[in-house]
Amino acid sequence: MAPTLLVLWTGYPNGARVARRLKRAGFDVIGAYPAGRAGGRSPAVPRPLRYPSPVDTPDAFVAWVSDTCRRRGVDAVVPVDEDIVRLLSRNRHAMGRAVFVGPTEEQYALLCDKRRLADTARELGLDSPMTVEVDDEGNSPVWPPLPSVVKPRTSGSEIDAPRMVDTARERDALVKHLARSGYGAVVQERIDGQRWIVQSVRGDGVFEYVVHRVDREWPRGCGLATLKRPSPDHAALAASARRLLDHVDYRGPSGISFLEQDGRFYPHDANLRLGATMVASVNAGFDFPRRAVEAAMGLPGRPFDGIPVPGAVQMRLDLELEALTSAARLRDAAAFRRVLLDIGRVAVNPRGLLDPSPLDPFWVSSLAQRVLRRLRAGTRARRSPSSPARAEGDPRPDPARSPLATGSDSKLAPTPASAVGAK
C-alpha cells in the first residue's frame, strides 16, 4: 500500500503544489489547513481537514496532529508552513510512528535561527555576514554598519519580512517591533551581490540539488524570490550547502540562500522544509517533494540526474501581481511595464512556469476573495473616524495598502524596498 502523508498546510501556491506532486508520485495524501481561514482547497485537496492555529493554540495543534496521525494511520508528516516546522521539531514524539519530513529541534536551532546559522557557518570556515542578535528590549552593544538588514531571528507565518534600514532610527523601531513579536530580531551586515538558492534533498547516500539564480524578489531586494532560473555550474556552492547539512546530519528537504560578493558566498538563510519556491526545482526537472519524502522515509526511488532542464524559469505570479499593483499605485510606469514584460516572457517560454497558474479556478477564486477582503478593510479604515492613526516610525506594513497580499506563506511588506541580503 502507498504510504499515507499528512501535508500541513495546503494553501496557495506552495501547499497545493506539494500535495499535487505527492499525489502524482503515488502517495496517499491527506491535506489540512488552519480552521477559521478561507482557502486551502485545490484540485489535489478539494476538502482539506482543519486544524487549530499553531501560533495561537500550539498545544491544541500538537494534540490535533497526534490524534490525526493515530486515527488516519499517517506514515509521514510533511510540513510546508514555517511555524509548523518549528513547533513539530520540538514535538516529534507527538507524531508517534510517523516520520517527520523536517528537522530535529537542534537541527532547526543551528540552521534556521539566523544568529546560530552565522555561528555555524563560521565554525565550518564559510563566509558569514556580521550578525548581531538584539535583546528582549531591542538593544545590542554593537551594530553592523548602516545600511543594514533587520530580520526576525526565525521565520514565521505571522511576522514581517526582512527589511533594509538606512538610519539608526529605522533600525531601532523595527528591532523593537520584532523583539515584542516574540520571534526575536537580528541585524546583519548588508551584502551587495547576486542571490542564489540551493534547493536540495539529503538522506542516506542521497544528496540531490538544483542551484537557482534569483533574478527578482518581492519586495524588491528583500523578499521572497519571485523569478528563478537553474544554474548548472555551481557545484561548489552546492558543496557549501551540503557542509551545513552534513554538520547537523539533517535528512530531508532544504533551501539555503547565499549572497555572492567579490567571488565569495555568504549563507544567510536556511529553510528545512519544502519552501515557498520549491516548484522552481520541479520545473527544472527535479521532483523535489517526492525525493524529499523518499529520503526522509528511507524509501527507494528514482534519483535526479543533476542536470536541470535547459531554459527553465519559474515566476511567483501572485507576488509579481502585487509588484504590478504597487507600481500602479506609485504611478511608476517603467516598473509597471517591466513587470508586465517579465510576466509575458515567462508565459510564452515553453519552459516557463507561472505559479500559481492563472487558469486555475481555485486560485482565481481565492485571489478574488482576498482582494475583496482587503478593499473592504481599506474602505472601513478610511471611513472610520475612530480608527487609530499609525504611530510615526511604525515599521509594520499597512495591510490596507496591499490588496493582493497572499497570506501566511508570503511574509511580505506591501511596498518595494532596496535591501539586499534579506530572506
Q: Do 377 and 338 touch, CB atoms closer than 8 A? A: no
Q: What pLDDT, on the 0 to 100 scale, is given for residue 358?
A: 86
Residue 82 has pLDDT above 80, yes or no: yes
Q: Three-state SS for 321? A: helix
Query: Helices (DSSP H) in 307-418: which residue ranges?
Result: 317-329, 333-348, 361-383
The full set of domain ranges for the chain reads 4-100, 105-126+191-383+392-423, 127-189
Angle in degrees, CA 282, 305, 108, rounded to 5 = 60
Cβ atoms < 10 Å from Cβ of 370: 20
Identity of residue 128: S
Rg over CA atoms, the chain: 21
The domains spanning 4-100 and 127-189 adopt the same CATH topology:
no
| Strand blocks (E) in 91-133 | 99-100, 131-133
Q: What share of the chain is helix, strand, coil (3-state, %, to 5)?
A: 35, 20, 40
Please give the C-alpha separations between residue 189 and each of 61, 78, 126, 212, 395, in angstroms, as whole numbers: 37, 34, 16, 23, 19
CATH number for the segment(s) 127-189: 3.30.1490
Between helix 288-297 and helix 14-24 the angle, nearest 10°, is 70
Q: Between residues 353 and 393, which one has the greater pLDDT?
A: 353
Model-level pTM?
0.83
Report domain 4-100's class: alpha beta
CATH number for the segment(s) 105-126+191-383+392-423: 3.30.470.20
Q: What is the mean pLDDT of residues 133-161?
A: 81
* Confidence class for position 155, pLDDT limits 50, 70, 90: confident
Q: What pLDDT, on the 0 to 100 scale, is given for residue 158?
A: 58
Q: Do 346 and 353 touch, CB atoms closer than 8 A? A: yes
* Confidence class for position 159, pLDDT limits 50, 70, 90: low
Question: Which grid cell is 260?
Answer: 555572492
